Amino acid sequence: MKKTCNAAVFTEVGQPLVLRQFDVPETLEPGAALCGITMSTICGSDLHTIRGRRAEPAPLILGHEILGEIIELGEGLTRDGFGEELRVGDRVSWTIMACCGECFYCRNDLPQKCEHLRKYGHSCCEEPPHLTGGFAEYIYLSPGTTVFKVPSNVPDDVATPANCALATVVHAAEAIELKAGETVLIQGAGLLGLNLIALAKQACAKQIFVTDISPDRLAMAKKFGATTTLNVKESAESDVLATIREKTDSRGVDVAFEVCGVKEGVAPAIRALRIGGRYLIAGLVTPGANLGIDGNQVTRKCLTIRGIHNYKPRHLGTALKFLAEYYQRYPYAELVGAMYPLSEINQAVEAAESGKFVRVGIQ
Ligand SMILES: [Zn+2]
Ligand SMILES: [Zn+2]
């Protein structure tokens, strides 16, 4: 193990990330772990921070979609989230957050809202343990992080982003109780939407409608198995609605998922749902997302509207098992479209911003 390592640090909005050296922690708290980072991917939320669309403390090591190898285990951390024995050298993924396990929210099955929550890629790197983000050679996993051994048949580039998008939509599908034979509308064909398509397919959805404004993203949605893709920039809402009704016996969809982050999509989804339909909102993460919906429709159509944010540790376990079983049925191998070494982090950020790839990787 090296005594120092490199990390790319975000210092200020609009400025390039800066490579800096940090001391690798020599001692671990009980329950903590030190991992060598094999690969990270750049999430849309990292780009939001770099461009100032989201406020985060600085200086900061960004990156939360991370795959690593265990270098050292703190006292008491002996088993992974599946209950299997953990050893030095294991290839692992982990929850994007560490939680205390004792506070009100932890006790009420909302560990992702822990009062002492620590999220990777979100905390100032001036304070120990410094190495808390993915754009680095090492990462310190705080006690309260659930670590999972990655199934050996899942390649690095498929496994790396799973602890963000896939785990979140596993939570979403569970929260809205997605069932076999249902018709589904997915708003947004980013990584959340694509993973949802795969989950809906495996749940035997009858119809999967996907909306987006990008022809490239909709083409990828088609590859993942969307039965109907609809470009909401090019088509009038009435036409989109007519297509959905025509293919759902004039009733509308059973379930809709908002994973596009666009508040203007909510009212059309309410109109596209059938009586008794369920709507899961997972993408509206910026304040001020007034929905502009007709409450009368919610009442008269007997709708269920539910929000989720992030996920619980077990959802990441389900996500990794899902990939181990099914990833080859879907174009998961195409998601990471470009790979850069850590030393070229700013080129990687630029490539991610070009929108040409679902994900850009850093090795
Ligand atoms: Zn992410
Ligand atoms: Zn807690």
∠ CA 269-275-280, nearest 5°, is 40
- What's the gap in Å between 109 CA and the centre of ligand 2? 10
- What's the gap in Å between 234 CA and the centre of ligand 2? 45
Distance CA 135, CA 301 (A): 47
Q: Which ligand is nearest to the CA of 113?
A: 2
Q: Which ligand is nearest to the CA of 192?
A: 1
What are the per-10-residue average pLDDT scores of the chain (363 residues)? 92 94 95 98 94 89 98 97 97 97 97 96 92 98 98 98 97 97 98 98 97 97 98 96 97 98 95 98 90 92 97 98 98 96 98 94 97
Query: What is the predicted pLDDT for the residue at 55?
Result: 84
356 CB burial (10 A radius; 0-12, 13-18, 19+):
exposed
- Crossing angle between the packed helical segments 313-326 and 191-202, to the nearest 10 degrees: 70
Query: What is the predicted pLDDT for the residue at 182?
Result: 98
Dihedral over alpha carbons 6, 10, 15, 21 (to 10 degrees) = -20
Cβ partners under 8 Å of residue 208, min gap 6: 183, 184, 186, 197, 200, 201, 225, 226, 227, 228
β-bridge mates for residue 352, sequence order: none
Q: Which of 5, 3, 18, 25 is nearest to 128 (CA)?
A: 25
User: Which tokens is 345 given?
Assistant: 């982090």
Distance CA 187, CA 295 (A): 21
pTM to 2 decimal places:
0.96
- Pair 351, 357: CB distance under 8 Å: yes
Residue 56 to residues 60, 345, 352: CA-CA distances in angstroms? 8, 19, 19
Domains within the chain, CATH numbers bracketed:
4-149+330-362 (3.90.180.10), 166-307 (3.40.50.720)
Distance CA 293, CA 267 (A): 5
Q: Which ligand is nearest to the CA of 106?
A: 2
Q: Which ligand is nearest to the CA of 66?
A: 1
- What's the gap in Å between 118 CA and the centre of ligand 2? 10
Q: Which ligand is nearest to the CA of 116?
A: 2
Distance CA 66, CA 4 (A): 20
Distance CA 84, CA 61 (A): 30
- What's the gap in Å between 257 CA and the centre of ligand 2? 28
β-bridge mates for residue 94, sequence order: 147
